[in-house]
Every structure is written in structure tokens, then in C-alpha cells.
Amino acid sequence: MMKDFLNESIPCLPFRGIIPFEKIVLHVELDGGAAEDAVKAAMASESRYIFITLLNTIDGGNHLADVGIVAEAKQIVKSSGKTRAVLDGKFRARLEAVTSQAPILMTKVKKLPRVSAKCDPLELEAITRSIKDVFVMYAALISTSPHLVSSVLTQSDPFRLFELVSLNIPIPTPDRQILLAENSILEKLTILYAILAGETEMAKLQTNINNRVQESFDKGQREHLLRESLKAIKNELGEGAKPGVSGSYTEAIKALGNIDDESREKLLRDAARLEGIPTQSGDYYQLDIYLETVVGLPWDSYTTDNDSIENASQILDSEHYGLKKVKERILELLSVRSLKPDVKGQIICLSGPPGVGKTSVAKSIAKALGRTYQRVSLGGVRDEADIRGHRKTYIGAMPGRIMNAVKLSGTRNPLILLDEIDKVAHDGRGDPASALLEVLDSEQNHNFRDHYIEVPFDLSDVLFVTTANNVGEIERPLLDRMEVIELNSYTASEKFHIAKNHLVSKQLAENGLKPSLVKFTDDGITAVIDGYTREAGVRTLERNIASLCRKAAKDIVSGKRKKVNLTAKNVVKYLGIPKYDAAETALKPEVGVVNGLAWTAVGGVLMPLEAVVINEGKGDISITGSLGDVMKESAQIAVTFCRTIADRYGIPRDFYKERDIHIHAPEGATPKDGPSAGVTMVTALVSALSGIPVRNDVAMTGEITLHGKVLPIGGLREKLTAAYKAGIKTVFIPKKNQKDIEDVDPEIIEALEIIYAEKLSDILGKALVPKIASKETVKAIYRGQKTEYTIEASQSVSH
């Protein structure tokens, strides 16, 4: 327990900023010398105590005040060239003797009793209310924080009220010493009230004086004073006008190349006008930003194109697998540019499903040419100002996306990718697609005027490349200005090579793995492609490979494995049950079930079609499976055509009156449409009506007419790929699609028997398994040993 007299002398720190109470943490700035030595001596002692008291200057001499604070020296902090001591106040004490003055001041002190709270409760309540009332008036005069006022008004503890008020009003140093020495809380509050009342009266007097002085200024004097004050403040903050700004713009404008004289004169006038505008004006800031933007455009900066076809071919082959036609067209474009560098108007639109590499192809073109690359996303853009910019009179005006991309590129001839151009929208704020007409027209873009820039800029040297998922969504006038290059969905073989040669190494590097630690086997990659992806591109494939890399990294870091071999079995272990099953065909020929082929956004798929005939009916035709209008019309054509060939296949002539027909495409939740299922529907109906099974190892696609002709279809490459993956042996395609077979991978052509059909009879005669066939023939067809059996017209089958 602390005694009245401390057992030993403690260092003393004379302090001019004494606080009127003891329980406070002080941050005392030390001027070095004896003060710092005193704090260090206290920190070295067992108690760490130091005596803080007021140093009075009386009659030319220095005298220590009798009452001070004993504090615990916590630490010495040095920052920004200054030294501060952190002192934690403990109790009041009275100075009894100075025991030493050198090398540091040492004192003997006596602990004072705690401030007494014994007094008349009514008097204490009255003085606290008075202090609160006066403090509210004082706070209103000097604009004190409302939070502080609230704290004072809600304070019920007289000691805490004393501390709050005394710390937030200016109290002369002698009065602080008096308050510290006083032993009664009532007396402390009484003295504080007197000081607060005096400060309040002083604040009132100062306010009145300021009001009278303010009224003496006329309007002009007041504006001049405010302007000069604002200028001084901005200069102090480093935000003032830079000397010679207008002159620097003038020199920069005169040095611009490839700009017409009229535009140069216009910019020079703007630079001269800038000098006459007050720097505090909003117009100054607006014009300054405008000139900075215009001068910063690459008016005469070019990059030299790399005309090497070998270099371009090497870059395209190293960064992209397959895409033979795309690469060939790009090399053609580069060849023409090599022969005629000033060629204009070559605008490419890379069209294809998501994830097939449209954006990365554009990057490769820029890399092959040696041009800077900038991407402008147009998805969801619906304001014309996004293309042409905002007029600079508007607040927050800025250039359009095209000019901003040119500025960011730093050259007049960058490659600018206009991404997702098919997703440009329009509303009441204008039509961005119409604004793009000028940008992409070589006859107009040499004089392109952005609303913000206001002066013409030549965009004819810019190589524009656009991307789209569906060119049908692009405005026709805009589409006419572009050459469309189709990027088809990848086959499973292409995905395998892309994953093996590009994606695996990329994800291993991004996940901090070495090829020696994690190995993807061929069957592991194939398992990922077949069981966990169903897409046209490779984005989901890359995400699954990344997931496998992360899981492998976890096993390696946790010590479960030293190396990870990602086989098909381990892929299932890490990624879980496969999300997709391989397309399955019927195990044997069935009546009314035909394998159709469809082309979707994620590639080709095998689409079985089913037809059932109900003998006792009313001639109703039911069509289910989320089929679109075009497929429903194909079903009507199929029924009509079946009526024309009913006798040939032993089908009752009145089947359309007395029997109900139900046609269904499985996976009913998936919308389906298009005319290419016509031959599939006819084959299914003929089979269901005649009872003749359809071979389970064949698939077909083609549009039909009422006279039984087979018309060409789209997506042949994708459809044949789907048939190949499903294990189909024979595929019927329209004769007019024979020219498109060169786009199909050679391995698929070799694996499939492709039959070109001009008429439906070419398909029915080889797809149906006749009942009059021998048992040996049926068995051979079932085992896949015989793939063709022609039904002659004379071989009718009774139903």
C-alpha cells in the first residue's frame, strides 16, 4: 500500500501545461537534456514514479509549485524528429523537499488525500446544473461538437463533469494549478464555474466584435478577401494554379502533328481563354481537363507493323489449337497488309459460342502485328454517349469508349477489340449501334468527331476486330461493314489437345505446381471433358482443371501425397460423380425410335426422337418435348408425307383419322427448334405406323419437303462429332451438304459411314429393318456386322 511519504526521492519534471486533475495519460514533449534524463531515470527505477509540477516564474526566478501529480513513466517515443514521454497520472502529491538538483532534479513528496466529495448535495446539484447551462451557451458561441455537449449534459458524476469541462475550455495556467490543489469537489466546480462564465462572456464579446467588423466590409471587399484567402489555402495545400499552364498547353498544341489548321486554331483559342479564367472557377477546371485530354491523344505516334507471315503463323499456332480457317483468313489479311500497308476497311467479326477463343485470337493478331491492344466491352451499352462521348459542357463529361481506348493505347494504329457487339442495346438516350456505323466505316472514320474532343481524329489506321455470339442480333447495316469469321465449337479431340498443350501447363503454373509433382494422364483429361463439361468452348474445362490442381496442391502440402497422378479414377475422386453421361443409343433396333442430330449453343448433340401410334383414337397428333414452331411444322409435313407413302410400307390409308399419333423429343426441359429434324420425324412415324424397327446404329439430319426431298442443314461438323462420340456407325445427311464435309475432322470421316440423301427413300430404305428380312440378316444388323439393307418398293409389309 502507498504511504504518505515515498520511501525514496523520485525524479521531478517541471511542466508548464499542468492538468487540473490527476487521472490522465499525458504525452509530454521533451526538449532533451534534463527533462529526458529525468524520465529515463524514472523508468529505470523500481516504482517508475516521476513528480510533475508547475514551474512558476516569479521575480525573475523559477519556482516549483507545491502541489503536482505523481505519474508512472510508461515509455519514451521518438517520431518526426521529436521526443515524447508517455506518463500515466496516479495521484496528487505535495512537494516536501528538493533532495538533488544535479544531474537531475530529485524531490521528496507526500501523497495528498483523494478529492473530497463531502458537501451539501443540493449545493453540488445546483453548481453542476449551472455549469451545464453555461457550457451550453459557451458551446453555441464557439461551435463545439454536439457530441461533446451531449456528453456534458448527460453526465451525472461531478468528478467526470469536472474533467470533461476543464479539458474543453481554455483555462489559464495559474487557475489550473489552483484547481489541482483544491481538495473539495464542490470548490473545484465553483472555481470552474467562475472560469467558464468568464470565458462565455469573452466569447460573446468576440462574436459581437466579429459581427461588427464583418458588416463594415462592402461586397467587393468581402469577395476580394474570400478569393485571396481561398487562393492562399489552395497554395498551402498544393492545389493552386500551376504557373505557366496555359503557356505549356500552347506549346504542346503547336507541336501536335496530323491535325488540321482549323482544329489547331480552335485548341489555341481554348488555351488562351484558360489564362483569363480564375483558377477557382469551375470553368477553369473543366477547360483544363479538356485540353489535357486532347493534347494527350496520340496524334502522331505510330507502331510499325510486323509483316512476317512466318512469325504470325508461329504465334497463332503456339497460342491456339485448331481453328484452321480462322488462322488462314488472318494470315490472308496480314499478307494483304504486307503488300499494301495503307489498305483500309478490313474489319473482322469473330463469331462463335462463348469460350471458343474469340478474345484470345484478337490478342494474338495484335501480338503478331506488333500493335498495342485495347479491349472495349460493348455488352449492355445502351447510350450513344458511350461511343461518341459526352459534350464537355456537362458535369462529369468524358470522351467516348473509342477515343478513350485510342488514348490508352498511346498510338494512332492500335488493335481495338469491340467485344460482344451483338449485345449492344438502345433506348431513349440514343442508338449506340448507329454511332458505331461511323466508327467502322473506312469512308467516314478518317474524320471521326467525338462529342467531347470536338475536333476530328483519324481512326482509319486503327484495326478494329469485333466479337459476337450471335451475328443475327447485330444490326444489318453494322453487320454489312464486317467480314464474319466463324469460330465453331470445339470437338472433343480439339478440347483434349487444348487442355493437354495449353490449359494444364497454365493452371499448374497459376497454382504453384510443377509438372513433376502433378501429372494429368490422357484418360484423366478425357474423363474431365466427357463427364464434367458440356460446352462449345473450354472455359468450364479450364475451371475443372484448376479445381483439380487446387485439390492436388492441398494433398501435397498436407503431406498426404508426394506426387499426384490424375487418372480417370482420381478425377472422379476429386471432382465427384460425373455431371454428364455419354450419349446413349438403343441396344437394339426399336419401332418408332430414331437417333436425330441437333446443333446447340454448346455443340452437337444426339437427340433421340420417339413416335407412338395409338390404334383406337380420333386422329389427334400430340407433339411434346418443348418443341418450337418450326419443329411442329416439320411434324405436320411428316404426317402428310406418310399418307403419300402409306401403301408402300403397309400403312393403313386412314391412319390419320382413326389413330392418335404422339411424337416426343426427350429432355423436355430443353427447348428445341429448327427444320433439321424433318427426316427423323418421318422415319420415326413410318416405323411406328408400319411396325418396322429402325436400326439403332444410325443417326440422321435433314429438312424435308412435302414431296420427300431432303434439304441442307447447318452445323454439320458439330452434328457428325456428336454422332462419332455416341458410337454411331452410319449417318444420313443431305446430299447438298456434301461440300461441307471438308470442315469435318478426318478421323470422324474415317470412323463414320456417311450416306448422302437426296430423297427420303434414300434414308428409309437403309434405316429401317424390314420384317421380311432373314433371321441371319437381322442378327447381322443387330451385331453391327451388316450396315445396309435396302427395302424395295415391291417388298411391302402388311401391318
Question: 214 by DSSP, 3-state: which?
Answer: helix
Instruction: Go through 445-459 and write b for each residue having 16 or more CB atoms within 10 A of its CB, e for each that does not.
Output: beebebbbbbeebeb
Q: How many CA atoms lie within 13 A of 14 on its CB side?
A: 14
Q: Are 145 and 165 in contact (CB under 8 A)?
A: no
Of the candidates 131, 206, 163, which has an alpha carbon nearest to the alpha carbon of residue 22? Answer: 163
Helix, strand, coil distribution of the chain in percent, nearest 5: 45, 20, 35
Please identify which residue in the block is written with the cell numbers 481512326: 459
560 is catalytic: no
Please identify which residue in the block is written with the cell numbers 458551446: 139
Active-site hit among 108, 719, 725, 766:
719
Burial of 84 (0-12, 13-18, 19+ CB in 10 A): middle
676 is catalytic: yes
Question: 55 by DSSP, 3-state: which?
Answer: strand
Say what angle helices 158-167 and 146-153 make with each other, to 10 degrees.
Answer: 150
C-alpha cell at 86: 508517455
What distances in angstroms separate CA 70 from CA 29, 104, 314, 722, one per listed residue?
17, 17, 82, 90
- Say how far apart CA 546 and CA 348 lie, in whole Å: 32
- Say how far apart CA 16 and CA 267 lie, in whole Å: 63
- Say how far apart CA 353 and CA 766 lie, in whole Å: 35
Please identify which residue in the block is written with the cell numbers 451388316: 786
Say what angle helices 324-339 and 309-319 make with each other, to 10 degrees.
Answer: 160
Please identify which residue in the block is written with the cell numbers 466569447: 203
Q: Are 131 and 165 in contact (CB under 8 A)?
A: yes
Q: Are 495 and 541 in contact (CB under 8 A)?
A: yes
C-alpha cell at 52: 510533475
CA dihedral 646, 648, 650, 651 (to 10 degrees): -10
CA dihedral 375, 378, 383, 386 (to 10 degrees): 0
Amino acid symbol at 245: V
Burial of 229 (0-12, 13-18, 19+ CB in 10 A): exposed
For 759, phi and psi rounded to 5 degrees?
A: -130, 160
- Say how far apart CA 445 and CA 438 lie, in whole Å: 6
Question: 91 by DSSP, 3-state: which?
Answer: strand
Total residue count of the chain as it appears in this document: 799
Active-site hit among 409, 676, 687, 690:
676
Beta-bridge mates of residue 374: 416
Catalytic residue numbers? 676, 719
